[in-house]
Amino acid sequence: MAQLSDNIERFIKELMEEDAQIDLRRNELAQHFGCAPSQINYVLATRFSVDHGYIIESRRGGGGYVRIVRMKARSDQSLLNLLLERVGNSITEEASLAIIEQLFERRLVTRNEAMLMRAAVERNALMLPISAKDVLRAAVLRNMLVRVFRNLEEARSHDV
Amino acid sequence: MAQLSDNIERFIKELMEEDAQIDLRRNELAQHFGCAPSQINYVLATRFSVDHGYIIESRRGGGGYVRIVRMKARSDQSLLNLLLERVGNSITEEASLAIIEQLFERRLVTRNEAMLMRAAVERNALMLPISAKDVLRAAVLRNMLVRVFRNLEEARSHDV
DNA sequence: ATAATATAGTCAAAGATGGTCAGAATGCGA
DNA sequence: TCGCATTCTGACCATCTTTGACTATATTAT
């Protein structure tokens, strides 16, 4: 019944109706709802995860913030989930390259972007015992995939 | 947001849009922003380091100054060599991010490409013991750097 | 030369945020 | 009501910024 988390979730989603991206102060928000700051993290983790189509970025220290970015269309988003699942905890070089190729064919990344992704997951980029390579490659690829599906970039092509 | 440090950084970069080199009075600048003079040093250290592509020179005493020089590479090739050398066998996350930022400022990569590069070298992409992270990050970054510059060459030889 | 003055540099501590995780509290379905 | 899942909290950690006291180095006046 109108739980704290639900309220916070609704509040954030209202803020995001206009913009696909917002910045907030974790402590401010917590104070606004009279709860522990870590409660905000809980809401973000359970309702604004990648699975839900959001990406969270943040900065600590003075002037710190929590940024919430809503990713592209739902169709793309389910593709992302599919790919993330496919990658899992471990993936071979061949499978990785296939995924990257697929992204390019679907025009989700440019030729250059695909090239960079390959450079990051290739055998010679991951100088580790073979068994560990696949695990690490999966981690790197997952991180890049999420970024690819991030919305923001074309939306605000100004300011650094 | 709009942190003091960020403001000072922006201010300096605006000054440098015209010239690749400027001289400042540290105390004057500090006064202009109403902060401690050492704040200026902080900004220089964190945003105008060599990894960011700048060199700082200064003089104390009467008529003292702080000079900021944007490094200029003779060619893409020599910049690549410089960066590869800097990366070496091991590099921290901060230094890596600075280098990537530099590539973007020099318009050698797009915003999205920089984003992908960051995704590949970030802490959370490299799930390893800390000591190993830096080594691996260096390998990944080197691989990506080479790709960026190789592609640059191709692109340039095509058009024109 | 020496002293006074004018700059800039360093570094450690304080301040300002946000993150993580284990466990307590609460809600809910069987 | 019992027990598992979800929600919340608080203690402790990590990171980024800002300041101030102390130091170092020029220039200028005596």
Helix, strand or coil, per DSSP, at residue A37: helix
User: How much is the mean pLDDT over chain B?
Assistant: 91
Q: Residue A151: pLDDT above 60? A: no
CB contact under 8 A, A147 and B110: no
For range A84-104, the mean pLDDT: 92
Task: Give the mean pLDDT of B96-111.
Answer: 94
d(CA B150, CA B160): 17
CB A69 within 8 A of CB A21: yes
Share of chain B above pLDDT 90, in %: 73
* CB within 8 Å of B46: residues ≥ 6 apart: B5
pLDDT classification of A160: cutoffs 50, 70, 90: very low
Following CA atoms A99, A86, B122, A13 in sequence, which dihedral angle do they give, to the nearest 10 degrees?
A: 110
Q: Is B160's pLDDT higher than 60?
A: no
Tell me how far CA of residue A34 lies from CA of A4, A10, A27, A46, B5, in angstroms. Answer: 10, 16, 10, 19, 31
pLDDT band of residue A78 (cuts 50, 70, 90) is: confident
Q: Check if A3 contacts B (Cβ < 8 Å).
A: no
How much is the pLDDT for B132? 77
Give the three-class secondary structure for A66. Answer: strand
- Residue A157 in this model has a pLDDT that exceeds 80: no
Single-letter code of the amino acid located at B46 = T
Distances (CA, A) of A127 to A4, B99, B142, B148: 47, 21, 12, 20
C1' of C28 to CA of A84 (Å): 32
End-to-end CA distance of chain A, in Å?
Answer: 43
Q: Is A34 left (phi over 0), alpha (psi -120 to 50) or beta?
A: left
Residue from B140, B148, B149 to probe the interface with A (highest A Cβ count within 10 Å): B140
Given a cut of 70, whether residue A73 has pLDDT beyond it is no
Q: Return the residue of A nearest to B132 by Cα.
A: A128
Residue A76, pLDDT > 80, answer no
Alpha-carbon distance B144 to nearest alpha carbon in chain A (angstroms)? 5
Q: Does position B77 have pLDDT exceeding 70, yes or no?
A: yes
pLDDT at residue A74, as a whole number: 62
Residue A23, chain B, CB below 8 Å: the answer is yes
pLDDT score of B143 more than 50:
yes
Q: In chain A, count of helices (H) and strands (E)?
A: 8, 3
Res A67: pLDDT = 97
pLDDT band at A138 (very low <50, low <70, confident <90, very high): confident
Which of A113, A86, A112 is CA-nearest to residue A99?
A: A86
**Chain A residue with minimum CA distance to B105:** A160
Residue B32 has pLDDT above 90, yes or no: yes
